[in-house]
């Protein structure tokens, strides 16, 4: 999934991936495991996607949400194919010692799709994420790495951290969150993940244009009051007959939009407009900027390239460290983010913002020979072509920031195949109560 302007990467509340499921008829061998069937299962380890792996009565793999490894559960099949089943654990016959009671009444089978792991203790969540990251690196990139998922200071209980939310509106005008793998709206009174400055209870208690979207962002931090808040209401767009309705997106410059947010990271004040991407966790910019700085070890005179630069977070933090004599080139394609980046980097004489798509040709022909590279691509990753071009760019180090360990592992495999080596890897729990995790990998050329 690509980044969206409201920072919903990963999704806040299970945005629809397709229409609600219909009962599925499968082959005769699987007749006992169709949608709606109840199965008694023993779960194995977590899989990508947040559920645990089990085996159905016909031998097919079952991905069981709302379960933990080693549990015996009764699960209802929600989707069936010839290769695998999806199911929700609706009863726990033998519970894991790491199971806890979800705080939110909407977190459960058939309910809000945003919190995969409210039933998992925080220490167990982080161990599971570390295991999933390590498995992706080992299986995809051939790397054997001990991974520790670090807690972000200030949010010890894992709640109240989400500073960017997207609420859907049902046909009656009531706002809520999407159900898992569904377009259906789950009306809620509040969201426990939302930062205090979101004002979720007030937004969810109001009436809105039917079938629209509400995007809201705040600068609220732990224990502090928000300085500003953005609220953008998007009415439903009429679909032409016979055409599937595309997902609504913010225009680059909303005609009468809210004022930009102002955030401070390592002494730098940055502007973030309503159409620009920004991290959803309040602690994310600080911990990621610190990890990238430590990994790259910039020096005066270095030439730095920041790819997928957004509003210029990494360029703004690293720019002063390469002065005097250095330079910063920030590459970003979203018009709103480009405008923000130019304002945020205006006081850095050595900084240039390039409005362009990141491509193999741009890396190979337009960036020169950088000393350091920051690579912070959207969820799908940079891809083989860009990764291969970076392998030949002549940089001393590359810092790769990723919200999808699988995509990062694929891109790292390309760099490793061109003779680079992993110098360090850190993982951060920027999305508590979900399976998602952020990683910062630093690579450098291997010995000749």
Q: Mind telling me the catalytic residues?
A: 403
Across 268-371, where does the E strand assignment appear? 268-272, 303-307, 327-332, 351-355
Omega of the bond leading into 10 within 30 degrees of 0 (cis): yes
DSSP 201: H
Buried b (16+ CB within 10 A) or exposed e, 390-428: bbebebbbbbbbbbbbbbbbbbbbbbbeeebebeebbbb
Helix/strand/coil for 329: strand
Nearest-angstrom CA–CA distance, 212 and 119: 30
Q: Which helix (H) or strand (E) holds 123?
A: helix 122-141
Nearest to 260 by CA among 274, 281, 270, 279: 274
What are the structure tokens assigned to 378, written together? Answer: 């959207």
Using alpha carbons, list the distances in angstroms from residue 203 to 23, 45, 179, 418.
Answer: 35, 38, 18, 51
Nearest-angstrom CA–CA distance, 314 and 309: 7
Locate tokens 């790819």: which residue? 307
Q: What is the end-to-end Cα distance of the chain in Å, rounded?
A: 37
Quote the distance between the C-alpha of residue 400 and its chain's center.
15
């Amino acid at each position: 999934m690509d980044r969206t302007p409201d920072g919903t990467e990963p999704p806040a509340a299970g945005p629809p991936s397709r229409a609600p499921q219909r009962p599925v008829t499968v082959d005769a061998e699987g007749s006992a495991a169709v949608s709606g069937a109840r199965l008694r299962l023993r779960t194995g380890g977590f899989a990508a996607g947040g559920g645990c792996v089990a085996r159905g009565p016909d031998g097919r793999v079952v991905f069981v949400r709302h379960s933990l490894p080693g549990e015996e559960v009764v699960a209802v099949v929600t989707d069936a194919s010839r290769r695998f089943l999806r199911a929700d654990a609706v009863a726990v016959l033998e519970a894991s010692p790491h199971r806890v009671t979800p705080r939110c009444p909407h977190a459960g089978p058939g309910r809000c799709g945003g919190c995969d792991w409210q039933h998992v203790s925080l220490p167990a969540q982080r161990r599971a994420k570390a295991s999933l990251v390590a498995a992706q690196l080992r299986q995809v990139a051939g790397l054997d790495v001990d991974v520790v998922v670090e807690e972000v200071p200030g949010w010890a209980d894992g709640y109240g951290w989400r500073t960017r939310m997207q609420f859907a509106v049902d046909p009656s005008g009531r706002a809520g969150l999407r159900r898992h793998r569904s377009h259906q709206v789950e009306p809620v009174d509040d969201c426990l993940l939302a930062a205090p400055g979101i004002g979720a209870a007030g937004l969810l208690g109001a009436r809105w244009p039917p079938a629209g979207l509400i995007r809201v962002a705040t600068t609220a931090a732990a224990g502090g009051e928000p300085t500003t808040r953005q609220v953008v209401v998007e009415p439903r767009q009429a679909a032409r007959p016979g055409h599937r309705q595309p997902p609504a997106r913010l225009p680059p410059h909303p005609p009468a939009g809210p004022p930009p947010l102002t955030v401070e990271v390592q002494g730098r004040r940055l502007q973030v407009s309503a159409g620009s991407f920004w991290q959803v966790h309040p602690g994310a910019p600080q911990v990621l900027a610190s990890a990238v700085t430590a990994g790259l070890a910039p020096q005066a005179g270095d030439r730095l390239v920041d790819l997928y630069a957004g509003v210029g977070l990494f360029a703004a933090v690293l720019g002063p460290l390469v002065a005097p004599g250095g330079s910063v080139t920030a590459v970003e394609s979203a018009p709103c983010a480009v405008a923000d980046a130019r304002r945020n980097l205006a006081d850095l004489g050595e900084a240039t913002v390039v409005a362009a798509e990141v491509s193999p040709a741009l890396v190979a022909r337009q960036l020169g020979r950088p000393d350091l590279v920051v690579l912070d691509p959207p969820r799908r990753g940079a891809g083989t072509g860009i990764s291969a071009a970076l392998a030949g760019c002549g940089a001393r180090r590359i810092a790769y920031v990723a919200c999808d360990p699988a995509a990062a592992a694929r891109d790292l495999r390309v760099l490793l195949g061109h003779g680079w080596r992993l110098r360090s890897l850190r993982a951060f729990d920027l999305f508590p109560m979900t399976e998602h995790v952020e990683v910062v990998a630093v690579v450098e050329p291997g010995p000749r």
